[in-house]
Amino acid sequence: MYKKILAASCVLMTMVGCGSTTVQNPVDYVTYRDEPLVKRVENGMTQQQVLTIGGEPSSRVQRKVSPGTCNNYVMTKDGHQQVYHVSFNSDGRVVNKGFMTCEQREENERAK
């Protein structure tokens, strides 16, 4: 019993310590981990590389907290939809990505 609680606590602390003020649902990662955007997009990639992997985004947003842009994507699996964003700096390179919208990412950055 205590081992399960300890293991769950360690997972939660690890997720919180990843630098985001919003903890992303680990179920989202497990469910969508094989999607090209999740599996292949990495920090430092260019916008063109991301477009080649993920296609056209659902929307593009001009970043406000720091210069650059952000692409919102909607992934669908087994009839369920999940948002995913990829943020770019002013040089057009990936700086953030994850299971939230660009607007939610901006809100998190403002809160830091």
In a domain, 3, yes or no: no
In a domain, 57, yes or no: yes
pLDDT in tens, 3-28: 444 444 444 444 444 444 445 678 88
- Domain CATH number, residue 89: 3.30.1450.10
Question: Given this model, what pLDDT does residue 13 score?
Answer: 44
In a domain, 16, yes or no: no
Would you say residue 67 has pLDDT above 90? yes
Query: Strand, coil or helix: what is 17?
Result: coil
In a domain, 11, yes or no: no
Question: Given this model, what pLDDT does residue 26 score?
Answer: 82
Nearest one of 103, 106, 105, 86 to 36, comparing CA atoms = 86
Contacts of 12 (CB under 8 A, 6+ apart): 23
In a domain, 100, yes or no: yes
pTM for the whole structure: 0.76
Q: Which residue in the block uniquely carries the two structure tokens 């953030």?
A: 96
H/E stretch holding 28 reads helix 26-32
Question: Given this model, what pLDDT does residue 41 score?
Answer: 97
Would you say residue 1 has pLDDT above 90? no
pLDDT in tens, 73-97: 999 999 999 999 999 999 999 999 9
The rounded distance, in Å, linking the Cα atoms of 75 and 32 is 8
The percent of residues above 70 in pLDDT, for the chain, comes to: 79
Q: Whole domain around residue 48: which residue ranges?
A: 21-111
Counted domains in the chain: 1
The rounded distance, in Å, linking the Cα atoms of 101 and 75 is 12
